[in-house]
Chain A
Amino acid sequence: MTLHALTKPWEPMSYGFLDASAKREIRRKMIKAIAVPGCQMPYASHEVPMARGWGTGGLQVSLTLVNPSMRVKVIDQGADDSVNAASIRRFIARVAGTPTTMDTLDADLIQSRHRIPEEVLREDQVLVLQVPNPEPLRPVQPNMSIARQMHADADYGRMWLQLYEQIVRSGRVMQGASYPSLVHGRHVMTPSPIPRWDVPKLHMAKHLTILSAGREKRIFAVPPFTRVEPLVFSDVPYKVEDHADLTCHRSGTRGFFMNEIPQDDGTSVFEVSDSAWGVKAIRRRDGEEVALGETWYKNGKMPS
């Protein structure tokens, strides 16, 4: 063998930044994550040219999956033009030569922080969610090794107790985003800090969701047609944010998750959080022909 055989032709950068061995490791872990839905699989999580906590986990998954014919959409808080979404989108396009889009319907791969788009995702689409903290048990058990044992034992008693205490103390479950949910009847998972509004979109969805925490080095998944059930008591039903009756002051669209914009006079106005949806609604209102996809929520209600 020669030194040459151990190396490869010099490239300024691998396609998609990650080298072949980093991609293979992520692929192997993605397979296990899909095979055991909702179970956190540890992975090496290589450093990428972005700060930890800024979507490096999602980015590694996206970079492993992309090819030049895959159209990529990146959103942060629902918006395509949020600075970090713009930064990630630009990076992926730069190192993988992928076309990009803001329209959910045109995207093959959607990397998102804190939101799931309002239009129903198809079975050929992949949603990659960025995850700051992959451990739903952390509020009750900050030690990762003990928490791991609790998952192994399906020991979710303290989780339930915490929810119960919130109801006793505040009259309701206070958990907003990152609502802990039972996946495939076995593993409790954080759906990432998506609002409660978005959690039902994961249940028996057609698309594949991969959740990746780069800093914490954990990857987990919700395959299509998989049960995702928020932890609730049978007599205290799961409630999403009461945005059903809010109207976007810019696009006029109604019945979707909204951003609240405080006004000088002490009131608030609302604008739809899914910016691409808002843009399409405006364009249609202005007479353009725009394809609007089917939405998960209809008239502000999620059909059960």
Chain B
Amino acid sequence: MTPSAEEGEEPPLEPAPSVALAGDFPSRPTPAEERRSLGALGLDPVWDPSEDLWRVDVPPEGWVAAAVGASDALQHPLSTLFGEAPREAPGTIRVHALFLGIRPSGGVHLRCALDPPRPTLPTLSTTLPYVAPFERELTEMFGVDVSGLADRRPLLLHEHHPNPPLRPGPASAPDGRRVEYSFRPVEGEGIYEVPVGPVHAGVIEPGHFRFQVVGEKILNLEARLGYTHKGTERLFEGKPSDLGSIWAESVSGDMSLAGAAAYAYAVERALDVAAPPGDEVVRGLLLETERIAFLLGDVAGIALDVGYAAGAARANRLREAAYQTLRAATGSRLGRGTIGVGGLRRPIRGNLDPDLATTYARWREAIGRLRDEWLGKSSVVDRLEGTGEISRWVAELMHFVGPVARASGLRIDLRHDRPYGAYVGTEVRVPRGLTGDVRARLVVKVEEIVESCRLAEEFLRRLPADRSPVESPRPPTPGERRSGLGWVESPRGEFLVHVTIGPDARLERVHVRDPSFLNWPAIEFAVRGAILPDFPLCNKSLNLSYSGYDR
């Protein structure tokens, strides 16, 4: 990776306030226009209603042209890329690349069948740099040779595996020999390396950071992950499709509800069932409550890292109240075991405090007051402004998602862009920062908490008065092979689950794309040129999921 062009360059001075709410959503092609554009590229797409995407099968030699066409001609970024060993064609590998569009657009789903014994595919990373980690994973998990890929180091596996772990056959155990791994060298007079991790100083997840530093200035940071790799995607295989949410919840455990919901939507779309409308409203309420609790943790963490203990304590008090609200509704502080396929696992509505709307209103006011007090403290604001800047250009080039992208000026949010469940027909205000620094990320997150409280109040109003539980539809046994895509705007951003379900309703392949899989490079951009003591602050403001990346 070369030093980025924005280094040393100041972003435009930003007049207060740093959050804009008025819309400037670019106009997007309609599905019919998408079809014409794909046709002009020589592709013959088929509409797939279980994914809301145009599906196209391409040969390996047409792979790059089709992918670049989808991302350039249609302006859809590559959302995920993954392999599959299709049961109906034993021995072959199928590679999927999904480009999600923003409404009214659909998007594109490219599929490419590769033949054994040496499956080979040309790389997309020369035109789409953020695709490299996907291709590294494809190489180590399926043994696909991605030609032209510059970075051929393993991504998640730290030991040799005699067989690529996601190829069919008995689960392949690591053989105990550690893989070679070298960090990108940065050389010059006075440059030294600081290795950090995998065990970090706080109560956080494990990963290794390698800093190259001169004096206090960070020249380069490289993160090596995989320490929390649990082989989760393989564990889904063979499980009944209504049981998979157990593992989807444990991809990023601090976003259990978002994971379970994305999984549920994927299976529901594949099997063509829909949750009762009342259950969808409750899902929305739970998801927004999870977002409030999660983002309050980021707010508290940023406060703590700048030595603003009073702000951290106040945010953590609110956060505790949010987790207790989840527990009062579901019995689990993280809302586990609640969102199932076809609706809710257990009735929730009877557990809701009739006065709950006033609670959310109170939080909304409290976080607003906290923000005002906070941004009035020059000693706090001074640590936040200009720290860990990520330019809009980098955010767009690297396809960052969630609050990280929004703080850099991108207006993307699946609740608005591809509404699902209770968000269909709901106005979601998407806050956006301009400067892409820690302050912008803090302010965006605070505005999102305020908006989530507002949405929760709206969902409470929309709950059917009849609180008796509604029977959720039982997912049918399809009798044929089905696939589906679920998407949820999790607290960290776009969370995707793609499922393939066999005729016996058992899972054949589940791919989970946590938002942090796209966002991890953000930390490397954010700290470049910063001083080492600002690293924790940058890290906290991005709050990347290690387990979501590693799975």
* A and B: interacting chains: no
| Partner-B contacts on A (CB < 8 A) | none
